[in-house]
Amino acid sequence: MQSATRGRSGTAEILEQMGPGDQVFLDYDGTLVPISSDPTSCFADRELLSILDGLGEEYDMYIVTGRSAEDMRRFLPPRYRVIALHGALLLTSEGDVPLIPDYSRYVEICNSIALRKNEIREMFHGARLYNKVGGITVNTWLMDTATRGRLEDFMRSLAEESGMELYLGKQVVELRIPGVNKGDAIRKFRKHGRKALIAGDDITDEEAFIKNSDALTVKVGPGETSARYRVSDYMEMRSLLRELIRRS
């Protein structure tokens, strides 16, 4: 990963290079909506829906998120295409399409782990476990540092036992389907001859930046990044997208 100096402000360059018909791949939490201590409350507001509608009319747009299908169906109307679970599932207005083999097997693994929800809550004070039906997330906003460290060790062992992959993110510890990542998922949907804008704020988005280094990659927020450009927060990202629509 490159130093924090990477990811320069260069929204004017992005606006000059993108045009109608090009592709836009956007993370959700922290990129389009603020990060929240309550992961069940991250609904799209009217402004965001207006932006997404405008992008959808002019660009080939996807939301790319680690969120579950259930979460994204609650947060967004079904008219948007969503690549969920880091790239394991495509949500469309016509239904859900698994993007990996053996998806149903990983659903069964997650359902089995979720049966231990109360046990994990008792072991780790402040843990909030969510079955993403293709992933397991433990929200750690209410957890102290020492407890989170013990949780990480526990989840690492659980990952080894179940064949899942451990991911440590912003206020989350997650088990996800091995080998699935946003970078490879986006590459599946890239179209030859089309420019692509890819934006995100978390470690999983760095995989997208690295594996799509030819794209116009945008880091949202502070921190080290491999992205070519940077905006300060989700509000500046929305401003960039509004201007992209206005110029199309």
Residues marked as catalytic = 27
C-alpha to C-alpha distance for 1 and 224, rounded to whole angstroms: 7
Which two structure tokens, joined as six digits, stand for 246? 């206005």
CA gap 119, 167 in Å, rounded: 21
Angle, helix 234-247 to helix 46-58, in steps of 10 degrees: 40
Residue type, 29: D
For the chain, percent helix, then strand, then coil, each to nearest 5? Answer: 40, 20, 40
- φ/ψ of residue 96, rounded to 5: -100, 140
